Structure 1
């Protein structure tokens, strides 16, 4: 949640860099935005709304200075208002601060500060930080010492950055909330995520929990909590800046749906061999699982994990799936023989990280399945498998879900120790089949037919059940319409009471043993006058039972659901488009959920 950008340089580009960075981070939060520029004094500008509202409010003379910080907010403490927007300052405007995360002891800190005469102007937890810094400065502490003293009093999760008037240095620290540093030719950067500065540099340093950074035009210094300098590794990001652009599409979501064939090719590259029918994941060569597998995940990643757990069980590997926020190691059989797999697109999801850390504490082997190189999950787990989907900017996940499905299919083969040759062939054929769906889909016409519906139901069995859940989630996220997903057999155990002529039912009917049962469920909803949209690889058979058909190629019972999901993504997109929704920035949501 929320996005931080910081820059310090001598090229006079502070304002441009901060605004470009905020635009690149807006998928992390867009309730309000603001910047603080450090010159001889602090210049703070912030506005409720998207980054465009901030830009419109900036002075015509531009933003000067050699150091600055910016923030785009996803509200936790207090509604989106100008006053609650970051950056926040102290009473004397001797420091400006931006913050991601939640300060759990802020109420106690605020009460103590108010008792000492400090006046607060916002409802946020963040505002305690500049006042703590002000208190330390009053004792004669240097800016860096005051910053460290303030951070030492915080409890909870945080990524914090601060600037001081008359200084060209940005100070930063992190604990359970991401910060990455960028090394440029004319200046240096810090941000919550790489897209904030990928236009300027691809050389990065990932800050670890408990570390502090001092960033100025001459360089970057990373220290530990005691102030000792820490040696850091500089990594190179493999993204092209154009990967994070819209490339002519109206929305990032549509672009990323259409990038799925390439994303799957990247995921499969050098991992699947049709010649000898094997899956080889080099980064998991040292993984030697001996016991059951437990998946922990949230949201879209949880639906992928449900799919992966079923895949593993079919390969003979005991597997369970848990919502990360509900995962408790003291109530589950978790030990040294357990492999706990955290499925997380960003590698920073707070609930998933909490579950993985708990698993680490009890001695389980942990594996991160993520899209983000250098993320917290990748660094803290015993093993990591990257899904290689490339940057995904739209809040609604599309290409990362498909890549997770395919990566989990390969993981299942790896853990089982064998791969049917037919599965390898079907995996390699999948990108072209996704392209076929994209080229031939009639999802736009289906969206036009049902855009005015009261609600949408999605049903499927077996490997299609997680896809039904994901289809409903996409519809909810970007259309703001009521949608629910069910295992098809559960429809008659309660939800059928909600079905009527204004409730289209999207039924996944693909070539497996459960198809005939799902057809029975279709007949049940038809008897209640509900329109049916069948997503199927057997249109000649299934079409006679449906009002509309979304056809997909056959990829076998385990992989055809990957193709079915593409059709559901397109339906959700076109319904939202016709309703005029903010597709890439759906209300109340953010891309990277870094609070529990």
Structure 2
């Protein structure tokens, strides 16, 4: 969600800090800032504009320094204002600032700490929970930044990734992680800290992934790491080759459009080299784990949750294994019934989603140790926490609204359904061959769907004038309707909801008028005739139907019924294909309304706070 970059060096590190923030911009933010040690004191620049504007302020104010920290903020406590932007300073009694600090996450006991520090004489100038950490660190500082920092984090309740430095120890930056990612980067006579290795691309490829509870102490010539018990530890140094810059847009207007059109390649890469269905696709221990388990629990948030809902249809239908799908942010806060022979699956594009990580740990605490993640980032916390993993090959996804990450997740989950079916003896060799043939054709089928973009653009012009929309689907296409509604509301700000089509008469039909577009997913499957009846219910109330129909579904355009025909019916993989036109509809509606497609308001790419 938020971005952190820090550095200690003998050179001016402000360009590195700013470049790091630019690499993390795609995650979403509403303010940004940089603080450095300069001329014996602390200097900073903050902005509620983009990082490019922050860079202009830095240049204008001639800010430079060899030690510093930087941050992009997504507001939790306090509005997105310059005063609430990070880095935060701490001084006492109106003196010169001594501590600079940035923070990702949420400090749950900030109110009690704030009252304590106010009683001690500290004056608060922001509404953030972060300023509490800065003042507490300053209050505990007695000449040793590391010691004070360790005492500080010991008093914090909640999730955090923190970086800080002190003007009295100018060649030192400290950091800590608890429920929020943080990495250290090793340079030559300089060292770095960041919330994501991507921020350090082009600066260093030697990365240390900090573990839960770690405190890190950066000097020019070394990096010291201490575990949750304060014991000095060694952590593995990884050579990480990450994306070295923002992807080129090429002929596309936005990254989201580019990423929609990259889906044939992304899906093709995800299934590349798979000649047969085998548990080894999911890890060395997968064969033993899959034989043991007799049920599945899927934990995810947002778009990934909808991928999980789709997977439930596949796994139960093909592998005959019962599946529960839980919203990760809800699962850990209710009493559930654990079972040791459950395969716990987490789905996350970034692998750092705080709610999903917390839900995973909760499931393990209940005795469910058989874990698998479907993830797009091989170096993420989710991959490190799970026994098994399948890495999608979507590549870097910059647009906040997920597109190719979702379709590659679906592809991976379909492979999982086939694998579980094979292990449990519910798939014949002939069925395996047929499914593999369909998977190999999927990139070409996706390309054919992309060719209907011009027809969708015409629809988008009509949608752009609306403020509400309904999406309908049945069976395994109901989660796809949910995803279509989410995409529309995320980037166009049109209120959109999705329902199983059979639920129309149980309430939503009251909303249907001539001004309410009703998007309908109409594949030529066993539920088509039922769906047609639901469509007639809409037309009888004057509703306008916008139908994505398969070529042989016998649904024709007429008054109030607008039809775009999909190139072909794709059987059990149809949900993946029907996802694409819904993405295009949301994208072009957003363009017609003039919203910020790649960085929609109030949203972040990687949600690393609860």
Contact 2:162 2:176 in 1 (8 A): yes
Give per-residue Cα distances to partners, 1:483-525, cap 9 Å, x unaligned: 1111111122111111111111111111210112112222221
Contact 2:307 2:410 in 1 (8 A): yes
Counterpart CA distance in 1 for 2:65 and 2:287 is 50
Aligned pair count reads 590
Structure 1 residue runs of 5 or longer lacking an equivalent are none
Normalized against structure 1, the TM-score is what? 0.94
Match runs of 1:102-501 below 5 Å = 102-137=106-141, 140-165=142-167, 166-184=169-187, 187-242=190-245, 244-247=247-250, 249-273=252-276, 281-283=281-283, 284-288=286-290, 289-315=292-318, 316-328=320-332, 331-364=335-368, 365-417=370-422, 418=427, 420-441=432-453, 442-501=455-514
Contact 1:3 1:29 in 2 (8 A): no
Cα 1:235–1:551 shift into 2, 3 Å: farther
Q: Indicate the larger mover: 247-256 or 120-129.
A: 247-256
Q: Indicate the larger mover: 226-235 or 311-320.
A: 226-235
Counterpart CA distance in 2 for 1:114 and 1:452 is 51
Give per-residue Cα distances to partners, 1:291-339, cap 9 Å, x unaligned: 2101111110110000011111102111111111221487332121111
Counterpart CA distance in 1 for 2:400 and 2:179 is 21
Q: Indicate the larger mover: 578-587 or 524-533.
A: 524-533
Give per-residue Cα distances to partners, 1:214-265, cap 9 Å, x unaligned: 2344343322234433222233335442564534533221121111112112
Q: Give the SS at the match of 1:102.
A: strand
Counterpart CA distance in 1 for 2:459 and 2:204 is 43
Cα 1:186–1:505 shift into 2, 3 Å: farther
Report the equivalent of 2:594: 580
Deviation at 1:38, TM superposition (A): 1.9
Counterpart CA distance in 1 for 2:569 and 2:36 is 55
Cα 1:198–1:555 shift into 2, 3 Å: farther
Cα 1:550–1:194 shift into 2, 3 Å: farther
Deviation at 1:548, TM superposition (A): 3.1
Q: Indicate the larger mover: 540-549 or 574-583.
A: 540-549
Of 568, 572, 583, the residue aligned with 1:558 is 572
Report the equivalent of 1:21: 20
Note the aligned Cα RMSD (angstroms).
2.1
Q: Give the SS at the match of 1:588.
A: coil
Contact 1:30 1:51 in 2 (8 A): no
Deviation at 1:272, TM superposition (A): 4.5
Contact 2:23 2:245 in 1 (8 A): no
Counterpart CA distance in 2 for 1:532 and 1:329 is 39
Normalized against structure 2, the TM-score is what? 0.92
Counterpart CA distance in 2 for 1:398 and 1:335 is 34
Q: Give the SS at the match of 1:408.
A: helix
Of 556, 559, 563, the residue aligned with 1:549 is 563
